[in-house]
Chains A and B, each alone.
Chain A
Amino acid sequence: MKTRRYAALVSALTAVTLAAACSSGTNANSGSDGGGGTTLTLASVDQGSIEEVIKAFEAANPGVKVTFTTSGADQYQAQIRTQLSSGTAPDVMTVWPGNGNPGATYVLSKPGYLLDLSDQPWAAQLPDSFKQVAQYEGKTYNALFGLNGIGAVYNDDALKKSGLTAPKTWTELLTFCGDAAAKGTPAFALGIQDNWVTQLVLYALAATTVFGADKEFDAKLQSGQATFSDSQWTAAMGKYQDMQKAGCFQKNPLGTSYEASQTLAATGKTLGIVQGNWIIGLLKGKNPNGKFTMTALPATDDPATFLMPAAAGAGYGVNAKAKNKDLALKFITFIMSPEGMKLFNEKQGSLPTLSSAGTTVDPGLAELTTFVKDNRTVPFMDQLWPNAKVQQTMLSGLQEVFSNQATPADVLQQMDAEYKKGA
């Protein structure tokens, strides 16, 4: 009997302790992360560049310590949402421009998670095309420091060896593709097993065909005066398919990963690749002696009409409930200063959003720089779409077009349907 009673006591105690542990766990708040005036917490997706920026920031502000985490975009987006909704988010965090992805400016500022940065001196200096995607309802929330463009990136050595020259018009492009394929080195590497890559060629073509024809297309799309199906998007889709038929891409693009496509272009198995400017750094990583030049992808026969997709990359926002608001703002000021912006963009291979930053641009990006200066760029199309589903529909839809599971018209119709569902 004695042992029974003892056992009952033990099990009851265990149960009570457990229940207590569980109930206190729900609103436990770790208040032990230093919180004081000298520690800044930060979460970022800029692996490989943010580390250097933090080092420089710490050196410029003796005694300050930045505690940071970096992760890939998918994982980051999942994590930051959980942290924001549970009040455990860091002081400064990566925020994407505009709308259309789960970590974008509109999405995070709408429920009030981001601090209004409108009174920062750089906020007024941002060029209009960036203000559009850094602001929500007229207030600035995103410190956009860098900008990226999409175009045809050629491997100069491979091009020279093939005896061909980079095409200047749409007609030349198709001939170029045919000639390159005949020589056994296709014109462009295409790695669309990773579905985000599918959009790049389309954006490069749509910049000129859609927005060259009508600069106000996005506004018309928003007001319901235009649709994807009944617009120049059909032409852009058609040209993407024409390129595929002309042999512009290597065989089996759907089985080729982003990684594998870089190897093809870097080692001269293709003459180039249609990608963002960030690819130049990656190609040089695989072929340190290589020279790579980016040009606009021809989409018509009149080079004067060419536009390039160019848009702000992910920037940084400040948590509205930051533990260390002053230091967070100091960090934002640093990355938007000529010194911080130069460092960040040189590490990333991107261009600065403010003309005052004296960044040394890779010589291969001269054409993109000129296009930006001449205001001949169009933001990445998805940045102003009302929800993430439009882009995802396009990405998987393009894979379906390449595997003959759908037609371009189907894809554009589905995109219209998702667009109409709104935010």
Chain B
Amino acid sequence: MTADLQVRPPGRTASAPRTRRRRITPPWWFILPALLLFTFVVLVPSARGVYYAFTDWDGLDPDFAVIGLRNFTDMLDDGDALQAVWHTLLIAVAITVIQNGIGLLLALGVNSLIKTRNFLRVLLFAPAVITPIVTAYLWRNLLGPDGAVNSLLGAVGLDSWRQDWLGDPDLALWMIVLVVVWQFAGYSMVIFLAGLQSIPREIYEAAAIDGTGALRRFWSIVRPLLAPAITINLMLSIIGGIKLFDQVYALTGGGPGHATDTISTLIYKDAFTLGEFGYSIALAVVLTIIVAIVSAGQYSVLSRNEKAAS
């Protein structure tokens, strides 16, 4: 009912600024349906959920007590929880850096004029359309003691490089990062590629005439003009990294021991294997707060950069 007011076909904006129609301000109550929907589908259930973080509910017994902040103070004494927070942040940062680094390099590669670029784009993006749980089980087999990775290393004479990839607590966390990056680097690539393709060719040509090198071109042209793509990619990967569950659960189950437990796997275990729903919800509240702080902080820094760059 209101959708047609401000929509302009993207291609035409530059050529038709003067014919812009009179701006219509919709009345405030147009927001009501969306607001109500959001309130009853998201806000109210979430608030009711948060309430349980302050109880000792076991997920079953209707008799439970409100215990104030005890779940939160318990967390500070819970070595597993603190370790999980550390793993979560480590995984999120590692994924964000590596996935976007590789994604950007891939985007620069397939943005060139090489012949197979369309084929490569499809190929590199393909893993991103598979369900994460499927890729994780696939890699669990590949990384097994007798899996393809070790067989391959053996076949090329690198026997000493063979490892118990998922069974070694020093390696397992990095294998999770590897699997996530393998799957989603192509996804980052596509977003970077869209950004790259919106950079007008003329700017490169002008720079070439001025005699700039490739590095300088990247730093002074590509980087600032790619800022919106960088923002969205970093946001997506850091939030995805902090919330990571499926891949961890399928690859290692948080093990060996607790070596790869993240906040999300701990939330699941505390609720569903230990029946400590109150504590588990308290962990979930903490996770939400971490995600909110990190993404708000990141967004404000990046959008400042974006403005500075443009």
A residues sitting closer than 8 Å to B (CB atoms) are 4, 7-8, 10-12, 14-15, 18-19, 22, 74, 77-78, 81-82, 84-85, 101-102, 107-108, 110-111, 113, 193-195, 250-257, 260, 387-389, 392, 396-397, 399-400, 402-403, 405-406
Let me know if B60 and A85 touch, CB within 8 A: yes
B49 at interface, CB cutoff 8 A: no
Q: How far does the alpha carbon of A22 sit from the alpha carbon of B59 in the complex, in Å?
A: 23
Contact in complex: A392, B166 (CB < 8 Å): no
Which chain A positions have C-beta within 8 A of B32?
11-12, 14-15
Query: Given A12-B32, A396-B255, A396-B257, does the pair A102, B272 have CB atoms closer than 8 Å?
Result: yes
Report, nearest first, the 6 A-B pairs whose CB atoms are least far apart.
A254-B167, A255-B167, A400-B257, A252-B145, A252-B164, A22-B40
**B4 to chain A: closest CB distance in Å?**
13
With contact pairs A74-B273, A402-B256, A403-B259 given, residues A256 and B144 touching in the complex (Cβ less than 8 Å): yes
What are 28 A-B pairs at a CB distance below 8 A? A8-B27, A11-B32, A15-B36, A18-B37, A74-B273, A78-B272, A85-B61, A85-B62, A107-B275, A111-B60, A193-B166, A193-B167, A193-B253, A193-B256, A194-B253, A195-B255, A250-B145, A254-B166, A254-B168, A255-B144, A255-B165, A256-B145, A389-B274, A392-B273, A392-B274, A396-B255, A400-B258, A403-B256
Centre residue among B63, B144, B257, B258 by max chain A CB count within 10 A: B257
Q: Which residue of B lies closest to A401 (CB)?
A: B257
**Docked complex Cα distance between A194 and B63 (Å):** 34
Find chain B residues with CB under 8 A from A78 CB: 271-272
Residues of B within 8 A of A14 (CB): 32-33
Is B269 located at the chain interface by the 8 A CB criterion?
yes
Answer yes or no: B29 CB below 8 A from chain A CBs: yes
Nearest-CB distance from A402 to chain B (Å)? Answer: 7
Q: Which residues of B contact A113 (CB under 8 A)?
A: 60
User: What residues of chain A lie closer than 8 Å to B255, measured between beta carbons?
Assistant: 193, 195, 254, 396, 399
Apart from A85-B61, A255-B145, A405-B257, what are 13 other A-B pairs with CB-CB below 8 Å?
Answer: A22-B44, A74-B273, A102-B59, A102-B273, A111-B63, A260-B144, A260-B146, A389-B274, A392-B274, A399-B255, A402-B256, A403-B168, A405-B259
Interface residue B140 (Cβ < 8 Å from any Cβ of A): yes
Query: Which residues does B use to contact A, with CB under 8 Å?
Result: 1, 27, 29-30, 32-33, 36-37, 40-41, 44, 59-63, 140, 143-146, 164-169, 252-259, 269, 271-275
The CA of A108 and the CA of B275, in the complex, are separated in Å by 12
B62 to chain A, nearest CB (A): 7
A contact face: mostly helix, strand, loop, or mixed: helix
Q: B167 near A252 (CB under 8 angstroms)?
A: yes
Question: A19: which B residues are within 8 A, CB to CB?
Answer: 36, 40
**Structural contact, B274 and A18, CB atoms closer than 8 A:** no
CB–CB B33/A405 < 8 A = no
Q: Which residues of A contact B27 (CB under 8 A)?
A: 4, 8
Q: Which residues of chain B are near A387, meaning CB under 8 Å?
A: 274
Report the minimum CB–CB distance from B286 to chain A (whole Å). 20
A388 to B167 CA separation, bound complex (whole angstroms): 24
Contacts of A74 in B (CB 8 A): 272-273
Q: Determine the chain A residues whose CB is within 8 A of the CB of B29 once the complex forms.
A: 8, 11-12
Contact of B274 with A399 in the complex, beta carbons under 8 Å: no
- When distances are taken between beta carbons in the complex, the residues of chain B under 8 Å from A81 are 59-60, 275
B60 touches A388 (CB 8 A): no
In the assembly, what is the distance between CA of A397 and CA of B259, in Å? 11
Complex: how many Å from CA A358 to CA B83?
Answer: 52
The CA of A194 and the CA of B167, in the complex, are separated in Å by 11
A254 close to B273 (CB less than 8 A): no
> B60 contacts A405, CB within 8 Å?
no
Bound: A331/B44 CA distance, A:
41
Contact B60 A108, beta carbon cutoff 8 Å: yes
Residues from chain A with Cβ under 8 Å of B60 in the complex: 81, 84-85, 102, 107-108, 111, 113
Q: Hey, which chain B residues are within 8 Å of A388, CB to CB?
A: 273-275
CB distance from A202 to the nearest CB of B (A): 15
